[in-house]
A and B are shown apart, each in its own frame.
Chain A
Amino acid sequence: MILPERASDCETVKFINEVIRILEIYGTSYLRGAGYTLVFALLGTIAGCLIGFAVGIVQTIPTSERDPKIKRYIVGFVKTILRAYVEVFRGTPMIVQAVFIYYGGRYLGVTMDVYTASFFVVSINTGAYMAETVRGGILSIDPGQTEGCMAIGMTHFQTMLYVIFPQTLRNIIPQIGNNFIINIKDTSVLSIISFPDLFYVHKSVAGNMYTYFESATVVMAIYLTMTLISAKLLRLWESKLDGPDTFDLATTDTLAHTSGLYRFTHKRRGWTNERHT
């Protein structure tokens, strides 16, 4: 071991040794906690997106005076309910929602284990935010796209499914990524109902060993690693959905490529076409 020259060096070495010690003892606990965090953040985000898409799509159903009255009333009623859902879950802290649902469920005769309650809370919370994101995403698509669909006789549902929705999805991926990263961090509040995530592990380790700073350092590093990798993966998904910047010209008769292929490369200043065989 290196001999410390100054007191601060001594502290540093002590700190590093302590970090190594808790990693040796609790390494697998941290990993398991990180696993729970990641899995529940992912599941919650996926479920939340599905809820958000459903709510967002319903919120943007157009009603015209040509529609029968009963249809307009039903759509209006459903929209109001969904509006209330969004406002309630966006307007209250997730930590309180967790307690409210986990303990409150018992009064209503719904007993949930910690995992079900956690999954439920994360999903429904993400759903409330995603609903607004999806609604904004749908509204941001040029109305010309909808008109193009209507002009060839597509129904509202087909228009949404094949044209508006794929474009909305592309536009809101950054926001989905945001929600996923927020969920990785915010699942930590679920430790209040003893959900065994990474933060819960930290609390136990720190409590057992009195190593608050050391454990927090480890946990910070793990959270940051998870969020950085997620951000990178989301970027890759985005560029994959964008497709390549180039396209190949097809000859009219697809069986005979006598003229070869021209590759068009989209450059900032316009088009260049270089022949490749």
Chain B
Amino acid sequence: MSAILEIRHLSKAFGTNKVLKDIDFTVRSGDVTSIIGASGSGKSTLLRCINFLETPTSGEILFHGEDITGKNVNASAYRAKVGMVFQSFNLFNNMNVLGNCVIGQTKVLKKSPEEARENALKYLDKVGMAPYINAKPRQLSGGQKQRVAIARALAMEPEVLLFDEPTSSLDPELVGEVLDVMKTLASEGMTMIVVTHEMDFARDISSHVVFMEDGVICEEGSPADIFGNPKNARTKEFLARFMSR
């Protein structure tokens, strides 16, 4: 299968603080890549660089073989093809659930309102939020908000979907409903990159696991390799800490 995203020698520094150091990895169509690691290891920054919410200091990001870090690249057009789900949901507070899922389609993809509405309902139905189209974000629970956020990203019909710790700000009992939606997407062949602390998700659902520490990729491979037979000492230590819980 062809590579959708190739990250080449990506580095990011905030001032003198080097958060990402020479990151290399490839995402193929249909891959579900989990990025795991301790807090502060640069996982989220990597994801934000991929979506250009942070400008990389150096390195290349190839999208279908085309470098999108160049100065003349239209970042908005690229972002429309790469969806993102945030830890803090970031639903538009001034719109109801339907409005959240429609606005990008009508304003960015220039779809007709009817088509956008139909499409939005399709994806809201998929995440089980169709009955709530009239609700405002403030009237929803965390899990419901995150499901709407996923539907909003899906409604743009992106080629890759990025998840930045999608369950980290949810109550334990709400985590399941969001993970279920993500499992369904994975089984349907959606290409996803997931920054997560949910080790069960990383082990059972993803096709590829990346372990990061201190801004570098320590180890990557299939879930079976990483969880069953980690080679790097740091990976072992991290997983031992997590699995003992």
Contact = CB atoms under 8 A, between A and B. Distances in A.
B184 interface: no
Interface centre among B80, B93, B103, by most chain A C-beta atoms within 10 angstroms, is B93
A260 to B, nearest CB: 12
Contact of B86 (A65, A144, A254): A144
A249 B132 contact: yes
B76 A266 contact: no
B77 interface: yes
Given A162-B103, A167-B93, A249-B131, A154 B108 contact: yes
A108 B52 CA distance: 51
B53 A152 contact: no
Nearest to B48: A147
A252 interface: yes
Interface in A214-255: 243, 247-252, 254
Given A162-B107, A166-B94, A264-B139, A147 B76 contact: no
A158 B108 contact: yes
A142 B90 CA distance: 9
Nearest to B87: A144
B79 interface: yes
Contact of B79 (A144, A150, A254): A150
B84 interface: yes
A108 B68 CA distance: 53
Interface residues of A, number: 32
Interface string A135-155: 000000010110111111111
A142 B89 CA distance: 12
Given A147-B53, A247-B136, A250-B130, A167 B107 contact: no
Contacts of A167: 93-94
B55 interface: yes
A173 interface: no
A264 B136 CA distance: 12
Interface string B116-142: 000001000100001111111001000
A64 interface: yes
A248 B134 contact: yes
B108 A145 contact: no
A264 B91 CA distance: 20
Interface in B13-28: none
B107 A252 contact: no
Interface centre among A153, A162, A163, by most chain B C-beta atoms within 10 angstroms, is A153
B79 A151 contact: yes
Contact of A151 (B53, B55, B94, B135): B53
Interface in B61-115: 71, 76-81, 83-84, 86, 88-96, 103-104, 107-108
A264 B103 CA distance: 25
Interface centre among A250, A254, A264, by most chain B C-beta atoms within 10 angstroms, is A250
A72 interface: no
A149 B93 CA distance: 12
5 A-B pairs closest in CB distance: A153-B80, A148-B90, A152-B104, A151-B84, A144-B90
Interface of B: 51-53, 55, 71, 76-81, 83-84, 86, 88-96, 103-104, 107-108, 121, 125, 130-136, 139, 149, 152-153, 156
Interface of A: 64-66, 68, 142, 144-145, 147-155, 158, 162-163, 166-167, 170, 243, 247-252, 254, 264, 266
10 contacts: A144-B88, A145-B90, A150-B51, A150-B52, A151-B79, A152-B79, A152-B104, A163-B103, A247-B139, A252-B121
Given A66-B71, A151-B90, A152-B103, 4 more contacts: A149-B92, A151-B79, A163-B95, A167-B93
